Amino acid sequence: MEKQKWSLFVYIVNHKNGARVAKLASRYGISDAAVFMGHGTIDSSMLQFIGVSDIRKELVLCVSKDQEGQTVMEKIIKDQRLDKPKNGIAFTLPIRTIRSAYRIEPLLEEDRDPMINYEAIFTIVDQGKGQKVIDTAKAAGAFGATLINGKGSGIKEEKLPFTMTVEPLKEIILILSQHCHTDDIVLAVSKELDLEKPGHGILFTVDVTRTVGLYEGECEKK
């Protein structure tokens, strides 16, 4: 059986539109999504030049099978008018490995590109569990990590009185790992956080084609 391809779908949309994008993705079957706040730092003249007038942005990350995600992406592009200037951008990245409830796609050594020295490991968990991810990853060989706060849509929404909706708070942990450490980190974090159980989070990796500011010596185990 051919191995299914998974992709990370990235949407950068105008302020307050992130939740709508995540809910639209969820409506069409993509439950693994998280929304993060962003703020631009370039001057207004440059913003006008690239067609962006509002520096307050929201970043939406969605993980799904590639074919399904592409179909949903077309619906989001139409809904958000991303084919028009000033409304945002969207792009995709191929996922190398993924671990969460009901989906485990292991990283196969024969699939590795010998020119790739680093991989980015993304882990999305409930708020408060990010430090546990970082500590576990460091013990398994990671040299550092970045933690970002956001909102998720992967858990079924709870309806409260007066039609209020609660969206779970999430933390995303980004780790740049030398390829010789990636498998150990992925397995350790997956086991420690019980990512194979529903509602415990999701982990995925993507190839990094270039790095700056990292030691790029020979890959050795700690």
Question: What pLDDT score was predicted for residue 3?
Answer: 63
Q: Show the tokens assigned to 79.
A: 């809904």
In this predicted structure, what is the pLDDT of residue 50? 52
Report which of 155, 135, 153, 154 is spatially closest to residue 145, judged by C-alpha positions: 135
Mean pLDDT, to the nearest integer, of 9-13? 91
Q: Is the pLDDT of residue 78 over 50?
A: yes
Question: How high is the pLDDT of residue 112?
Answer: 60
Banded pLDDT at 163 (limits 50, 70, 90): very low
pLDDT band at residue 69 using 50, 70 and 90 as cut-offs? very high
Tell me the pLDDT tens digit for each residue of 19-49: 899 999 999 988 888 888 875 544 555 455 5
Query: What confidence tier does 174 reach under pLDDT thresholds 50, 70, 90?
Result: very high
Average pLDDT, integer, range 165-182: 82
pLDDT per position as a tens digit, 98-154:
888 756 665 545 566 666 788 899 999 999 999 999 999 999 999 889 898 887 764
Name the residue with tokens 């008018």.
81
Instruction: Name the E strands within the chain.
Output: 6-14, 32-39, 56-65, 88-94, 97-100, 103-105, 118-126, 146-152, 158-159, 165-166, 169-178, 202-208
pLDDT of residue 189: 96
Residue 164 reports pLDDT greater than 70: no
Determine contact, residues 113/169, Cβ cutoff 8 Å: no
Q: 46-55, 141-150, 204-213 — which one is most confidently predicted on average? A: 141-150
